[in-house]
């Protein structure tokens, strides 16, 4: 039988042939299983080591690759040789960066190796993505519960990645003027507090008063201290235009961008009497009190109260009421210079109220202050009503 026939007739086995006195042990037709990166195939080999098989299959290994059995092992029939290629993963996990080597061939296997296979996470590529021999850059965010205060409400959201992602997950939008704290690119951490402040601007107008001035002219024909308003003063109006900055609808700053006088002020023109008060001798029911008596007493009291400029009004008022007579009586019961009703009210200022002008004037000034504020106020009321 020829050597060739012997080889053909032997599916698995060894043939010992004597050639010139030498014995050669040849292994032909051995079948082994070669698994390369998880892909299995059958390989027919001659008697060889694992290293020789890989060399025959043009499989080149690097430092991070793994082979079983070890390279020096002699392969027998039905042996399984497994080759796993190391792949570098450049990983960013919750913002933290690092690199490591793995034998995983898909992103899903990478996640399982990290213990994240069943977690609710955000991955930068699909889990079914193959990991190439040259490696892969991968971003994984496991997510955090954070609070977001915006538009008058505070919400909690489980989000991944950065502040921008959390705001987007809540359906919020913003523009370049809005204030976001912390910044959009901040990596989320558990219980991080985020705020979104809406910033807007508006233009408004505002009226400011312009105080009027007062011009006073002395009038020698009018009793000293009497002030007469010839032209009433009117405050003006200054209209300002302002640019306001608002945070969530509240004004936080404003700038005056323009102003104009929309109503000019009117200067108040008054006259002040400089004529010294005079009196005539008291000889009848219609005459005034003697000079230096009742009116002088009243004037001194007004000066003490700071009402010196009210004297003219008081003279006019009590001229009409009593002619400055201490004993002036009215059928209604009103009595004295101020025409107290009843006259006995003046007893609160002295038992001599019936005849003493000082007592009557003290009561009268107290009554005027309590009811009208000043003699000119009482005189104004008298002019409109006929009594005070």
Bond prior to 55 in cis (omega within 30° of 0)? no
Measured CA to CA, the distance from residue 15 to residue 29 in angstroms comes to 12
Query: What is the overall mean pLDDT for the chain?
Result: 85
Q: Looking at the structure, tell me whether residues 209 and 155 fall in a common domain.
A: no
Task: Answer whether residue 229 is part of any domain.
Answer: yes
- With a CB cutoff of 8 Å and minimum separation 6, the contacts of 135 are 87, 88, 89, 90
pLDDT per position as a tens digit, 226-243 = 778 888 889 999 999 999
Q: Which residues pair with 332 in a beta bridge?
A: none
CATH number at residue 119: 3.10.20.30
The range of the structural domain enclosing residue 79 comes to 29-85
CATH number at residue 51: 3.10.20.90
Residues 110 and 124: their CA atoms lie apart, in Å, by: 13
pLDDT-above-90 percentage for the chain: 61
Do β-strands 74-75 and 87-93 pair in parallel, antiparallel, or remain unpaired? unpaired
Distance CA 57, CA 293 (A): 141
Domain count, the chain: 5
Does residue 9 form part of some domain? no
My answer on whether 122 and 56 are in the same domain is no
Q: Note the pTM of the prediction, 2 decimals.
A: 0.47
pLDDT at residue 278, rounded to an integer: 55
d(CA 249, CA 178): 12
Instruction: Tell me if 22 is assigned to some domain.
Output: no
Percent of the chain whose predicted confidence (pLDDT) is above 70: 87
Report the distance separating Cα 151 and Cα 134, nearest Å: 48
Task: Tell me whether residue 3 is in a domain.
Answer: no
DSSP character at residue 234: B
Residue 20: what pLDDT? 39
* pLDDT value for 99: 95
Question: Is the residue at 110 inside a domain?
Answer: yes
Q: Is residue 16 part of a domain?
A: no
Pairing between β-strand 30-36 and β-strand 153-159 as defined by DSSP bridges: unpaired
Q: Residue 253: which CATH number?
A: 2.20.230.10
Half-sphere exposure of 80 (CA within 13 A, CB side): 7
Among residues 321, 308, 303, the alpha carbon closest in space to that of 383 is found at 321
Residue 97 lies in a domain: yes
Token readout for 37 is 């990166």
pLDDT recorded at residue 8: 23
280-306 pLDDT tens trace: 433 333 334 443 478 889 998 998 888
The answer on pLDDT for 11 being more than 50 is no
DSSP-based three-state secondary structure for 277: coil
**3 state SS of 378:** helix
What the block records as the tokens of 167 is 């705001």
Query: Quick one: 360 exposed, middle or buried, by C-beta within 10 A (0-12, 13-18, 19+)?
Result: buried
> What is the rounded distance in angstroms from the CA atom of residue 209 to the CA atom of residue 370?
31
């Amino acid at each position: 039988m020829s050597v060739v026939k012997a080889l053909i007739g032997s599916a698995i086995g060894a043939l010992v042939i004597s050639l010139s006195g030498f014995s050669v042990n040849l292994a032909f037709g051995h079948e082994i299983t070669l698994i390369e990166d998880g892909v299995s195939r059958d390989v027919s080999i001659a008697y060889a080591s694992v290293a020789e098989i890989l060399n025959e299959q043009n499989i080149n290994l690097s430092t991070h690759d793994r082979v079983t059995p070890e390279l020096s092992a002699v392969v027998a029939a039905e042996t399984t040789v497994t080759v796993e290629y190391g792949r570098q993963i450049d990983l960013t996990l919750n913002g933290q960066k690092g690199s490591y080597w793995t034998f995983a061939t898909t992103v899903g296997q990478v996640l399982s190796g990290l213990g994240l296979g069943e977690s609710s996470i955000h991955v930068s590529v699909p889990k079914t993505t193959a990991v190439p021999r040259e490696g892969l850059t991968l971003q994984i965010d496991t997510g955090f519960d954070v609070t977001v205060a915006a538009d008058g409400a505070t919400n909690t959201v489980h989000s991944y990645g950065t502040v921008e992602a959390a705001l987007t997950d809540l359906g919020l939008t913003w523009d370049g003027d809005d204030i976001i704290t912390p910044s959009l690119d901040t990596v989320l951490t558990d219980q991080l507090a985020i705020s979104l402040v809406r910033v807007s601007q508006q233009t408004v107008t505002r009226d400011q008063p312009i105080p009027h001035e007062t011009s006073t002219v002395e009038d020698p024909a009018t009793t000293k201290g009497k002030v007469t308003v010839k032209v009433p003063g009117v405050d003006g109006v200054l209209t300002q235009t302002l640019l306001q900055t608002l945070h969530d609808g509240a004004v936080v700053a404003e700038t005056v961008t323009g102003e104009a006088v929309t109503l000019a002020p009117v200067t108040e023109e008054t006259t002040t009497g400089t004529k010294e008060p005079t009196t005539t001798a008291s000889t009848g029911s219609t005459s005034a009190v003697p000079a230096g008596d009742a009116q002088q007493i009243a004037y001194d009291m007004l000066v003490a109260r700071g009402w010196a400029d009210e004297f003219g009004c008081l003279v006019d008022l009590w001229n009409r009421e009593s002619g400055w007579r201490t004993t002036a009586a009215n059928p209604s019961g009103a009595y004295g210079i101020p025409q107290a009703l009843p006259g006995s009210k003046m007893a609160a200022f002295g038992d001599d109220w019936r005849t003493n002008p000082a007592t009557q004037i003290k009561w009268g000034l107290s009554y005027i202050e309590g009811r009208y504020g000043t003699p000119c106020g009482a005189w104004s009321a008298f002019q409109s009503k006929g009594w005070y």
